[in-house]
């Protein structure tokens, strides 16, 4: 299953939350994090991989294979984007990118997509490719933040993309999001320590912090109520398919035997 993190506004905490969730759940389910922000991504800094040449950009430009761009960070598989201005030379081939994501889906239980905020070229959400991704909207506790989040929800609705819910981030009691938006699934505090993880290049949920604690509560819920249930459904469908093909094979064999 693919889970995307999105808002048309930048800086709300999409990358922070997507990377931390991916890292945390990778202990439980086979997970790959993919930075889909081809031109403006910065997840490489988060994982201390800023100097790797094996990025999603290199893959799209035909310089690396899929295997080469998958890096391991403890239990988590990670595909970062080029964080340098060299990223502007990338061929944003939506078909190739969606094809990569579908191939990853054969190998991983969960694919976490860090999506760019732009609504133009370079964002697979607005290509004609079928993405089949469920979305978590990350909104920021501010007046512009609520406006951006409302617009984002309208947009996803118009695009017919299923939304799991909205995470309100950097909460400082500025806006009562619950009064305006009815799908709030978590409220995460503003926490200065979050900024520091970018300096250290490691996930915040690794150490005790106010933000990390609240996020881990939410992740437990997400795993229980959503991911494990959904994976169970997917497995049940696969088992049913296998069972069906087994029966069909048997029927074929019986037909052959009868005709002999």
**DSSP H/E element including 194:** helix 193-200
Residue 16 as a binder of Mg ion (CB under 5 A): the answer is: no
Of 184-203, which residues contact ligand ADP (CB under 6 A)?
188, 190-191, 194-195, 198
Of 156-175, which residues contact ligand ADP (CB under 6 A)?
169-170
Residue 169 as a binder of Mg ion (CB under 5 A): the answer is: no
> Which CB sits closer to Mg ion, 15 or 55?
15
Residue 45 as a binder of ligand ADP (CB under 6 A): the answer is: no
The 8-class DSSP code of residue 122 comes to T
d(Cα 53, Cα 82) in Å, to the nearest integer? Answer: 8
- Tell me which of 15, 81, 90, 123 binds Mg ion, using CB under 5 A: 15
The 8-class DSSP code of residue 226 comes to I
Partner from ligand ADP, Mg ion, none binding residue 16, C-beta < 5-8 Å depending on class: ligand ADP
d(Cα 16, Cα 196) in Å, to the nearest integer? Answer: 11
Query: Would you say 169 and 203 are in contact if contact means Cβ atoms under 8 Å apart?
Result: no
> Which CB sits closer to Mg ion, 45 or 187?
45
Please tell me the count of residues contacting ligand ADP according to CB under 6 A: 16
In DSSP terms, which residues pair with 139 in a beta bridge?
Answer: 168
Partner from Mg ion, ligand ADP, none binding residue 11, C-beta < 5-8 Å depending on class: ligand ADP
> Which CB sits closer to ligand ADP, 35 or 109?
35
Q: Which range binds Mg ion by CB under 5 A, 12-20, 136-144, 231-239, 250-258?
A: 12-20
Residue 113 as a binder of ligand ADP (CB under 6 A): the answer is: no
Q: What is the DSSP string of 19-78?
A: HHHHHHHTTTS-EEEEE--TTT--HHHHTT-TT-S-SHHHHHTTSS-HHHH-EEETTEEE
- Minimum CB distance to ligand ADP, residue 4 (Å): 12
> Which CB sits closer to Mg ion, 2 or 14?
14
Residue 123 as a binder of ligand ADP (CB under 6 A): the answer is: no
Q: Nearest to residue 159, comparing CAs of 129, 139, 185, 184?
A: 129
CA distances from 41 to 55, 190, 209 (A): 11, 22, 25
- The residues that touch ligand ADP, with contacts defined as CB under 6 A, are 10-16, 169-170, 188, 190-191, 194-195, 198, 211
- The residues that touch Mg ion, with contacts defined as CB under 5 A, are 14-15
């Amino acid at each position: 299953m693919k889970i995307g993190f999105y808002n048309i506004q930048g800086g709300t905490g999409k990358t922070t939350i997507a990377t931390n969730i991916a890292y945390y759940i990778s202990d439980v389910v086979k997970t790959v994090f993919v930075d889909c922000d081809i031109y403006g991504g910065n997840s490489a800094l988060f994982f201390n991989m800023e100097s790797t040449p094996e990025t999603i950009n290199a893959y799209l430009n035909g310089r690396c294979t899929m295997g080469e761009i998958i890096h391991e960070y403890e239990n988590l598989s990670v595909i970062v984007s080029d964080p340098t201005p060299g990223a502007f030379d990338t061929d944003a081939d939506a078909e190739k990118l969606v094809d990569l994501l579908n191939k990853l889906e054969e190998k991983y239980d969960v694919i976490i997509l860090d999506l760019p905020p732009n609504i133009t070229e370079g964002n697979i959400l607005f290509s004609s490719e079928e993405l089949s991704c469920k979305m978590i909207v990350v909104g920021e506790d501010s007046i512009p933040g609520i406006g951006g989040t409302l617009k984002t929800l309208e947009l996803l609705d118009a695009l017919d993309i299923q939304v799991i819910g909205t995470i309100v981030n950097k909460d400082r009691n500025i806006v009562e999001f619950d009064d305006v938006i009815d799908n709030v699934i978590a409220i995460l505090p503003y926490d200065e320590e979050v900024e520091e993880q970018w300096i250290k290049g490691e996930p915040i949920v690794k150490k005790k912090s106010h933000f990390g604690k609240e996020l881990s509560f939410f992740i437990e819920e997400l795993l229980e109520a959503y991911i494990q249930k959904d994976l169970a459904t997917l497995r049940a469908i696969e088992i049913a398919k296998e069972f069906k093909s087994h029966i069909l094979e048997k029927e074929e064999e019986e037909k052959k035997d009868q005709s002999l």
